[in-house]
């Protein structure tokens, strides 16, 4: 009986040890960072947060929370951090309550916490982390009161940030919230923020003084769609907010229906601010009930007749992902 008892005790001990091993292994796997499709930035998200289908990052509709990733060049780190002053943040609707310098392995970073002012109340965090060839900008927020995720849960998630190597441009494009059919001979150069892509036609990836035609296609990220009566005004304000253009003179501005959706298109002459190069800009916006997509194409004046129809061909072939 003693031997049997010892045997049973040993089996119980073995079972307990095995269970502990399984649970510890599950904990290890659960702590692995998750990378949204085509993103170089990942982290261990708070419980119940899922990968967003609308932007690069994570969200929880139930807890009114989101974590958004923006990939930037490594050289942007210093300028970005220097620009995150209390006054600058306040102008963007965030009142700073904490600021922490981070040391994440061999990477450096800054984590700023605060409260959101304005019509939407809540808590917000901005984190910037520098790697050898990448600056990661992470913006997180929890709308409403103190329910939902705690400050500690959100900060722990942000500090679990992980960065990986470059992702192919094809994989990045496949993760965008839209699909492009006819690319009219343009090639993709860079995907930004998980919702926009830059195209050009020519050998250069960095385009100066619009030496090559280029356009950016961008879908909105959680931005209200203006009502029909304000869309023309909205389109003009969006064009005038472009910081690389000056002396904008509108040649044509019109609203129309196409593929069952409302559209607005502006063609204008402008000057490329840095070089003084005269250019033509074409902005086309496709409005849907809960989102919009904006295309801005730039070409030199002498190439307008060649490139404006190409810009239009690209956006005419646009299809939104569900």
pLDDT in tens, 153-191: 999 999 999 999 988 888 888 888 899 888 999 999 988
> Based on the structure, what is the number of domains in the chain?
2
Which residue do the tokens 């600056």 mark?
A: 135
Both 45 and 74 in a single domain?
yes
Both 158 and 273 in a single domain?
no
* pLDDT tier for residue 248 given thresholds of 50, 70 and 90: very high
Best CA proximity match to 223, nearest among 159, 287, 165, 266: 287
Residue 16 inside a domain? The answer is no
* pLDDT tier for residue 195 given thresholds of 50, 70 and 90: confident
Please tell me what DSSP assigns to residue 230. G
Tokens of 126: 């901005």
User: What is the mean predicted confidence (pLDDT) over 36-55?
Assistant: 91
Residue 17 inside a domain? The answer is no
Both 251 and 267 in a single domain?
yes
Both 63 and 159 in a single domain?
yes
Residue 222 has a pLDDT of 63
Cα separation, 174 vs 157, in Å, equals: 26
| Three-state secondary-structure class, residue 185 | coil
Residue 25 inside a domain? The answer is no
Both 254 and 115 in a single domain?
no
Per-chain mean pLDDT for the chain: 87
Both 183 and 289 in a single domain?
yes
* pLDDT tier for residue 305 given thresholds of 50, 70 and 90: very high
Both 315 and 259 in a single domain?
yes
Tokens of 44: 């261990």
The vertex-189 CA angle with 300 and 290, nearest 5°, equals: 90
Cα separation, 140 vs 128, in Å, equals: 12
Question: Which of 137, 163, 189 is a domain's end point?
Answer: 163
| 149 burial type by CB count under 10 A (0-12 exposed, 13-18 middle, 19+ buried) | buried
What is the 3 state secondary structure string of 241-308? CCCCEEEEEEEEEEEEEECCEEEEEEEEEEEECCCCCEEEEEEEEEEECCEEEEEEEEEEHHHHHHHH
Residue 11 inside a domain? The answer is no
Strands of 187-192's sheet in order across? 187-192, 196-200, 214-219, 291-300, 278-288, 261-272, 245-258
Residue 24 inside a domain? The answer is no
pLDDT in tens, 253-269: 999 999 889 999 999 99
Both 105 and 136 in a single domain?
yes
Q: Looking at 31-35, 55-59, 115-119, which range is the least confident one?
A: 115-119
Both 180 and 313 in a single domain?
yes
pLDDT in tens, 91-100: 889 999 999 9
In which domain, by residue range, is 156 found?
A: 41-163
Beta strand 107-116 with 122-130: parallel, antiparallel or unpaired? antiparallel
Both 266 and 285 in a single domain?
yes
Both 246 and 126 in a single domain?
no
CATH of the domain at 137: 3.40.1000.10
Question: Which of 139, 163, 187 is a domain's end point?
Answer: 163
Residue 278 inside a domain? The answer is yes
Tokens of 86: 């209390």
* pLDDT tier for residue 14 given thresholds of 50, 70 and 90: very low
């Amino acid at each position: 009986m003693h031997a049997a008892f010892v045997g049973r005790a040993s089996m119980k001990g073995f079972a307990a040890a095995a269970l502990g091993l399984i649970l510890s292994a599950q904990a290890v796997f659960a702590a692995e960072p998750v990378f949204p499709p085509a993103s170089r930035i990942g982290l261990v998200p708070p419980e119940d947060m899922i990968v967003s289908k609308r932007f690069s990052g994570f969200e929880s509709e139930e807890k009114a929370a989101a974590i958004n990733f923006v990939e930037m060049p490594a050289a942007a780190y210093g300028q970005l951090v220097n620009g995150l002053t209390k006054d600058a943040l306040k102008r963007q609707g965030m009142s700073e309550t904490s600021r922490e310098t981070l040391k994440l392995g061999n990477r450096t970073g800054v984590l700023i916490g605060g409260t959101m002012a304005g019509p939407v109340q809540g808590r917000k965090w901005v984190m910037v982390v520098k790697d050898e060839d990448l600056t990661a900008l992470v913006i997180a927020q929890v709308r409403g009161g103190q329910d939902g995720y705690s400050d500690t849960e959100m900060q722990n998630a942000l500090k679990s940030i992980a960065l990986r190597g470059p992702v192919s441009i094809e994989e990045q494009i496949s993760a965008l919230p839209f699909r492009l059919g006819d690319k009219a001979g343009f090639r993709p150069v860079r995907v930004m923020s998980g919702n926009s892509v830059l195209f050009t036609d020519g050998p250069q990836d960095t385009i100066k003084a619009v030496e090559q035609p280029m356009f950016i296609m961008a879908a909105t990220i959680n931005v209200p769609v203006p009502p029909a009566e304000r869309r023309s005004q909205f389109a003009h304000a969006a064009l005038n907010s472009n910081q690389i253009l000056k002396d904008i003179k509108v040649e044509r501005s019109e609203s129309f229906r196409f593929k069952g959706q409302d559209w607005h298109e502006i063609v204008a002459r402008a000057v490329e601010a840095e070089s003084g190069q005269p250019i033509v800009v074409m902005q086309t916006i496709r409005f849907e009930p809960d989102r919009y997509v904006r295309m801005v194409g730039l070409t030199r004046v002498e190439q307008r007749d060649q490139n404006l129809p190409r810009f239009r061909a690209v956006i005419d072939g646009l299809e939104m992902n569900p």
